[in-house]
Amino acid sequence: MLNHTYSATAEQLDAARQARLQIRQGYDRPTAGMVAGMTQVNMLSLPQEWAWDFLLYAQRNPQSCPILDVIEHGEFKSKLGQDIDVRTDFPRYRVWEHGKCTAEITDATSIWEQHTDLVTFLIGCSFSFETALMDAGIEVRHIHDQCNVPMYLTNIPCQSAGRISGNLVVSMRPIHASKISEAVQITVKVPQVHGAPVHIGAPHVLGIQDIQQPDFGDAPRILADEIPVFWACGVTPQAAVMNSKIPFAISHAPGHMLITDIPDREWMK
Amino acid sequence: MLNHTYSATAEQLDAARQARLQIRQGYDRPTAGMVAGMTQVNMLSLPQEWAWDFLLYAQRNPQSCPILDVIEHGEFKSKLGQDIDVRTDFPRYRVWEHGKCTAEITDATSIWEQHTDLVTFLIGCSFSFETALMDAGIEVRHIHDQCNVPMYLTNIPCQSAGRISGNLVVSMRPIHASKISEAVQITVKVPQVHGAPVHIGAPHVLGIQDIQQPDFGDAPRILADEIPVFWACGVTPQAAVMNSKIPFAISHAPGHMLITDIPDREWMK
């Protein structure tokens, strides 16, 4: 009774499943705009011994780390979709050792064989509000340009938890000055997928030296009278992995998300 | 920057501190209506070995267990108020052994001496929306009658997590039929203090046999043309302690809350 009843149509469920199959078979591109209207999620998997610290980190930093599912140690199925296998259903993964990215891979099955106690966190993604932005006539530049959203490591520390600390990562969308207020009003309604912007304009205040050199994703194309608008980003956990030198972790590669069976509009209820 | 800036007035902070002092010195009554407009919280403290399971339980059941602070093992200060000591600042505590309440006490200092690894969860309380209800002309009966809110153990299972499972506990306020829609509209805005009602009318659907015999708190006075309205309740963790036979735990006694330095309107932002 307190659970959501996810109201995807048969067509949406089929499209999501087909996309996962395509990804499982080797599709290796950023996923923004794929299966429009269906929720995509970020991932971080950690050894069980680190799971408490991370869950507490997420609890203390809900805007950057809104957890949509926790998959218990050794498991790889998710309640967010019927046939989801988190080992294969992201297009690309990053393997982390002592805070350094030591590999990018497209199939993580062998990782789960080697590390049998991984706890997996699936985290909301701002891609989930992009359909709503476009429905309101707000162009989402990286979808229009078919590239990856630009993401920046800021100088804003998150609340630490146990051994885990790190700075906030933000995604950026250039938005016409006349549309920014509406973008805030749309996104504030969906805290589970990062909610309202954390910052509008003045990138240097976030410690961003050059907006054309994002830390993750592709350089943005910013038009006249557009202002950079920044939202908390689900890559924030990866910044925490780096900063905290966690001995082992695996995450999605920025922008390369899992497509779930949950319609985006679920978060607008 | 992502943190709330709590905007209590000096008078409010002083009133909250005075109330905590009064409680520390022996005040032993339900706290609904005390220091109107300031957030009150539920508590559950567990040995560290159980903390992961409970944090996951809360993550999976956010409507009944919205966590406002996690106090790490052995600690007893909270970020929710400058001088808070969770060992002394609830009017009354329940001590739980293997799922049974074995004592009620008014000072828990000795518990923290005996159990040095307790992790403490402070959980939002529906008292936080009562001032807003009253401001809208909706009588909150248990405040008017100066008694404890009635609470019921329902037949609705929460999502389990690890070794922890249990049913939802609800608080009940009788509300005039003409005002219920407004009560929903007011409370839906504050998910961190349980949000909108989970059920309106028809108590038997929740497994409540006799509305005059609540499982916790006082029997309600229900007037003509009033309907019982049920909200998720922060006593739900105690139902989980009972059901899961957790070896040791300490909680607040139902209705006997901690008064924090956070204004209720903080949750309405």
Are B29 and B101 found together in one domain? yes
CB B206 within 8 A of CB B144: no
**Residue A2 covered by a domain:** no
**Residue B150 covered by a domain:** yes
When CB atoms are compared, the residue of B59, B158, B168 closest to A70 is: B59
Rounded to the nearest integer, the mean pLDDT of chain A is 95
**Residue A143 covered by a domain:** yes
Two structure tokens written together for A6: 């996810």
φ/ψ (deg, to 5) at B130 = -70, -35
CATH number of the domain to which A260 belongs: 3.40.1640.10
Chain A CB contacts of B168 under 8 Å are 2
Q: For chain B, which ranges sit under pLDDT 70?
A: 1-6
Are B102 and B171 found together in one domain? no
Q: Closest-CA residue in chain B for A48? A: B52
Interchain pair A56, B61: CB under 8 A: no
**Residue B3 covered by a domain:** no
Chain A CB contacts of B198 under 8 Å are 1-2
CB A126 within 8 A of CB A231: yes
Are B119 and B249 found together in one domain? yes
Residue type at position B193: V
CB B268 within 8 A of CB B60: no
Two structure tokens written together for B76: 């007893």
Stretch A68-74: mean pLDDT: 96
When CB atoms are compared, the residue of B1, B60, B168 closest to A156 is: B1
When CB atoms are compared, the residue of A52, A63, A70 closest to B51 is: A52
CB A131 within 8 A of CB A34: no
Residue A1 has what pLDDT?
34
Cβ of residue A155 closer than 8 Å to a chain B Cβ: no
Are A110 and A185 found together in one domain? no
**Residue B2 covered by a domain:** no
B229 bridge partner residues: B173, B200
* Total tally of structural domains belonging to chain B: 2
Stretch A228-255: mean pLDDT: 97
Are B99 and B159 found together in one domain? no
φ/ψ (deg, to 5) at A113 = -70, -40
Residue A85 has what pLDDT?
98
Cβ of residue B164 closer than 8 Å to a chain A Cβ: no
pLDDT tier at A2, thresholds 50, 70, 90: very low
Are A108 and A210 found together in one domain? no
CB A264 within 8 A of CB A129: yes
Cβ of residue B168 closer than 8 Å to a chain A Cβ: yes
The domain in which residue A80 lies consists of: 10-126+243-268
Q: Closest-CA residue in chain A for B67? A: A59
Are A154 and A101 found together in one domain? no
When CB atoms are compared, the residue of B3, B56, B72 closest to A55 is: B56
CATH number of the domain to which A183 belongs: 3.30.2040.10
Are B148 and B168 found together in one domain? yes
Residue A268 has what pLDDT?
84
Q: Mind listing the pLDDT tens digit for each residue in A6-35?
A: 689 999 999 999 999 999 999 999 999 899
Q: How far apart are the first and last CA of chain B?
A: 15
Chain A CB contacts of B159 under 8 Å are 3
**DSSP-assigned letter for residue B193:** G
CB A56 within 8 A of CB A70: no
Other Cβ atoms closer than 10 A to B131: 18
Are B169 and B230 found together in one domain? yes
**Residue A4 covered by a domain:** no
**Residue B4 covered by a domain:** no
- pTM for the model stands at 0.88
Stretch A57-76: mean pLDDT: 97
CB A165 within 8 A of CB A243: yes
**DSSP-assigned letter for residue B143:** H
Residue type at position A47: P
Q: What is the interface pTM, i.e. ipTM, of the complex?
A: 0.80
Are A135 and A224 found together in one domain? yes
A240 bridge partner residues: none
Interchain pair A2, B51: CB under 8 A: no
Are B121 and B162 found together in one domain? no
Are A39 and A170 found together in one domain? no
